[in-house]
Structure 1
Amino acid sequence: MRDQNSNQIAENADVASLADIHKFIPESVYQNLPEPLNQIVLEFESRERDIVFLSTLGVLSSCLPKVYCVYDRKKYYPNLNLFIIAPPASGKGAMNWAKLLVNPIHDKIMMDSKARIEQFRNSTSTIGIEKPEFQIKFLPGNVSSARVYNHLKNAHDSLLVFESEADSLSNMLKQDWGDFSDVMRKAFHHETISISRATDDIYFEIKNPKLSMVLSGTPNQIKPLIASKENGLFSRFMFYYFDDVSRWKDVSPNANYIDLEDVFENHSKVVYKLYGKLYFKENPIHVKFTNTQWQRFQNTMSLATDTFIGNEKGEFLSVVKRFGIIAIRIAMILTVLRKNDLIDSQTSELECSDEDITKAIDITKVMIEHSLFVFDLFSKDSVFIPMKERILLNQLPTNFSRAVGLRLALNSNIAERTFADVLKRWEKKGIIAKQGHGEYKKLKIN
């Protein structure tokens, strides 16, 4: 049954690929990004740029210790979950460049941890001294649930799951001894995880667990990892889906050759220094937003929520609501990077700029679009409708004329010719039915 469902997702994706719906991150987002993001994205273009940018946000979300904001009366940390979905050999492997940014942190944490363990082993007296636990930064997908609990409990700060093949993780989740999907769900909200093992008389709690995930896979690899769109794990991820045809590119060391390993190694030094500065601070940093920024954010998320309620797409609401947390986390990351030079031992607050909340909202809008598309792949009868069209559809009465529809479309910055194409597409998809010349009726959709 699992393979059959996975094949159905792949088939739906093939059909949907006929439409130009897989949006890029807006160009405005890439203007004046904080460092090192700004320099990193200059090395890429088109789809690769989006992949590297989003993957970099994902890995950096695990590298900002003691940074938080207050959202819905609760502290949240910057951790993000990203899943890039595309056919084989489509270029999604560009995500691996982002992993290089965290290597020095991982190496340092592991080296120091091994040194403490070795010192303990060589100590002449260990009476009353607890054996140091092994620490890491990268949490491999091929890991037992027991090890996940231990690594989270003893984490230096956040853990990062980075897997370019989602099967590495999903294969573990299928095993009784490797299923830690509950940990992934709880870590998103930093909920306390309690562990009790009768065989070893062990009980411990992991408070404020922090876990970031950056994954990639093919459409067939979605279902093995996330069995159902209702199980809660789906709504905790940002999805980025594309099926562009990847043409051959010049791979020779030509005159414009740039060693990207050197580029990312240099940027990793900046990330390493920032990580250390934040980790060794005595007081945490609270990222704050102005009332005007909060109001703009509220308006954006309210519109998205009302649109799906109006379209009777209530099952997607949990995704939209968690995207509110994701948007604020992105804004936190951008704020800390932009104000890196202002952070010292006394810094306890940073205020997000209007520019960075705008970027975070614009990124979130695109990611909601991609996640909606992937969400609809789970159901054979679902009809994918881009957000801009959903907003228009929500504004239309049940029975409407072309003239009424055009007026609303123009108010939504949809050109007359585009609106004519939208009507044809809606009619073909069974979203509306023609009742007469220039007269239409909205139909119930999934």
Structure 2
Amino acid sequence: MISHYPYRDESGDVQYRVVVDRTSKSKKTVFQQRYVDGEFVNGMIGVILLLFRLPELLAAIARGETVYICEGEKDVMRLVGLGLVATTNTGGAGKWLAEYAKYFDGAHVVIVGDIDEAGSLHVRQVTESLLEHGTLASLRVVDLTTLGRPLPPKGDVSDFLDAGGSIHEVTMAAEAAPELVVADPEGVEQPTIIEEKLPPLSARIVSTEDDDQDRTTLLMSCLVTLGSFMTTVFMCVAGRNLFPMLYFMAIGAAGTGKGLASVSRDLVYEIHRSKRDEYNRQVAAYETERDAHAAKKSKDKGPPPKPPARLSLIMPGNSTAPVILEAMGINLSLLIHETEADVMASMLKADYGDLSGVLRQGHTHEPVSFGRARLNEIIEVAIPRLALCITGTPGQVGPLFRDGENGLVSRFAFHVLTRRSKYKDQFNKDLWNVQSIGAQLAPRVASLYDALSKLAPLNIEVCFTRRQRDELRPMLEAFDVLAEDDGDTHTAVVRRNPILIARFATILTIARFIDVDGDDHLTSDALAFLESGQLRIEVQDDDFDTALSLAQYALQTARIVGRLLPATTPATLHRAHKGAEGWYSSLPPEVERKVAVEIGKSFGMSQRTVDRKLNEPALFIRTRSGFYSKTACGKVAT
């Protein structure tokens, strides 16, 4: 069978066609022909590549309908035949062009990719392109492998339908999929960052940027890395001594500035390097002893020397749970600093080792253990201390946390970055100051690490003043009441917010020990405090205010992140939409939009959800302005 797929420009004029020859059972042949003087000729020289069914796509977007992006023309025509609006790009997987994104301004988009590796990469390419270059109303991705139908290794949506799947399952999966468009939400503001109120170290870092969003990125990420080595500092929260190790993620599309978080890694890299150098010295000594032991005669040998344990502060994000546990058993604390959330996500979903469980338990230093049957050993860490600093795109949030109910998401502080409102000059020499500030301050941070390490086994307790506790109490009680009306995930976020406040305040307090200009690296007050033998220090009001602002900001961003997460399982997702089924069943054959919206309220449906349903061709046909008729076969799947 030979199929011809014409590609038309915005005016509807044919520019070229794609020819797919499937007559051979072993292999299909695909080629393009440009349209010249009324006929198709081979070759595409001078032809501008277009989206398939472009005029129909633009008309549907103008009407506010949901549009589907597939990987090939065959899938597009299959969906079109079932009442949806669909498109694809010439060449299929890996051939998406950035300029295609301009056509999707204001569009509700659903991507349905093939299930092989090329399809996954294509979905990611299209997603990132649309988020970076387009201005979408919404963007969701349907994962066909979650819909419970047997699919071939390189299956697509046509294979799903051939396997007994329905178009309703596809549209409901799209409805249930996490929203990937992170808009600038009304009422969510950047935390209040006043340089004069910050510790000198933090003030020096944020002073390199004048954009509030960038300053927040720098401050929050640097507090994470500073807290990662404070193993002799704690604050008592709800009867537990908590060390200041934070879990943090900066979320934004490409070009939003989340890369600034790399400065925070530079800030502590000298500590990591000193640990690595010490390990290398121990290895050299071990090798000398090992060789000497091997040269001895058998009767004089004795037990062989043991290799040294690997010392480090920074761990790679692709480490498995056993590797992380082993490293935590050797080092007093660890920092995972990862610029690609996908790397962490692949480890969290690995079959070997429950990394998610390790992270959940490690958040409040609960004992962690892991058995390795092959080696007949159990790795145990009595007091795990782990800090996380991760950056990623909105599309990477779902794979990282999997769902909102596994408890990990409520342990994170999130920073959500939106598109820049003004151009940032990439050739401005001041950018060098930003990228180099971490390395410049690293020796001073290392001096703080050395001073704190000498306190062991004693610890410094950081505590709030009575006035600060009195101010916190009614605020946290109010949060607790509000949390009762929220979902389980946000309730957990609210309940863990005091931990964030405490850890931010602790790190800010100890960061004041650093002198950013003096020869001693630490302030005279800090040196006097450390030499006095005191083990208790109160939070300054300025640091209390900053910590409170950051924690309140994290409460707001957690709501945004919640919209990026799927529910626990596809079955749970479908059960959550039983209200939609009842709403659909209760509607008359023809209904006015405002009536449908009012009926939807009684089923817990938002106006946006009702509008999306009304614009699904599989469910409704628009008969006239503001009126919709239910299709004969329409049914909202549960």
Measured against the shorter chain, the TM-score band is 0.7 to 0.9
8 Å contact from structure 2 (residues 369, 379) kept in 1: yes
8 Å contact from structure 1 (residues 91, 246) kept in 2: no
Listed one character per residue, the Cα deviations across residues 122-149 of structure 1 (whole Å, up to 9, x for unaligned) are: 1134737543211111110112222112
**Matches of residues 140-179 of structure 1 in structure 2 within 5 Å?**
140-155=316-331, 157-177=332-352, 179=354
**Matches of residues 268-347 of structure 1 in structure 2 within 5 Å?**
268-282=442-456, 283-309=458-484, 311-340=485-514, 341=523, 342=526, 343-345=529-531, 346-347=533-534
- Counterpart amino acid of 1:168? V
Determine the structure 2 residue equivalent to 1:77: 243
- State the TM-score, normalized to the length of structure 2: 0.56
Question: 131, 135, 142: which is aligned to 2:307?
Answer: 131
Cα distance in 2 for partners of 1:378, 1:111 equals 41
Determine the structure 1 residue equivalent to 2:126: none
5+ long unaligned stretches in structure 2: 1-114, 121-140, 144-172, 294-301, 515-522, 568-605, 610-638
Which shows bigger deviation, 113-122 or 363-372? 113-122
Kindly state the Cα deviation for residue 34 of structure 1 after the two structures are TM-superposed: 0.4
Kindly state the Cα deviation for residue 246 of structure 1 after the two structures are TM-superposed: 5.6
| Higher RCO structure, 1 or 2 (CA under 8 Å, sep 6+) | 1
**Matches of residues 205-244 of structure 1 in structure 2 within 5 Å?**
205-244=380-419
Distance 1:246 1:18, change over 3 A: closer
Kindly state the Cα deviation for residue 253 of structure 1 after the two structures are TM-superposed: 4.7
**SS in structure 1 opposite 2:315?**
coil
8 Å contact from structure 1 (residues 65, 275) kept in 2: no
Kindly state the Cα deviation for residue 35 of structure 1 after the two structures are TM-superposed: 2.3
8 Å contact from structure 1 (residues 22, 242) kept in 2: no
Cα distance in 2 for partners of 1:208, 1:271 equals 24
Kindly state the Cα deviation for residue 320 of structure 1 after the two structures are TM-superposed: 0.8
8 Å contact from structure 1 (residues 165, 215) kept in 2: yes
Determine the structure 2 residue equivalent to 1:199: 374
Number of aligned residues = 380
Cα distance in 2 for partners of 1:257, 1:163 equals 22
Cα distance in 2 for partners of 1:12, 1:73 equals 38
Kindly state the Cα deviation for residue 356 of structure 1 after the two structures are TM-superposed: 1.4
The two structures, once aligned, show a CA RMSD in angstroms of 2.7
Determine the structure 2 residue equivalent to 1:377: 564
**Residue 203 (structure 2) pairs with residue 38 (structure 1):** yes
- State the TM-score, normalized to the length of structure 1: 0.78
Cα distance in 1 for partners of 2:487, 2:347 equals 32
Kindly state the Cα deviation for residue 171 of structure 1 after the two structures are TM-superposed: 1.4
Question: 92, 96, 110: which is aligned to 2:276?
Answer: 110
Cα distance in 1 for partners of 2:324, 2:489 equals 31
Listed one character per residue, the Cα deviations across residues 296-322 of structure 1 (whole Å, up to 9, x for unaligned) are: 22222211121232x454542111111
Identical counterparts, % of pairs: 24
Larger Rg: 2
8 Å contact from structure 2 (residues 397, 565) kept in 1: no
Which shows bigger deviation, 260-269 or 354-363? 260-269
Kindly state the Cα deviation for residue 81 of structure 1 after the two structures are TM-superposed: 0.6
Distance 1:97 1:357, change over 3 A: same
- Counterpart amino acid of 2:283? I
Question: 280, 285, 288: which is aligned to 1:119?
Answer: 285
Listed one character per residue, the Cα deviations across residues 365-407 of structure 1 (whole Å, up to 9, x for unaligned) are: 1110011121133369xxxxxxxxxxxxxxxxxxxxxxxxxxx
Kindly state the Cα deviation for residue 24 of structure 1 after the two structures are TM-superposed: 1.0
**SS in structure 2 opposite 1:362?**
helix
Cα distance in 1 for partners of 2:564, 2:362 equals 26
- Counterpart amino acid of 2:238? D
Determine the structure 2 residue equivalent to 1:4: 142
Distance 1:258 1:243, change over 3 A: closer
**SS in structure 1 opposite 2:319?**
coil
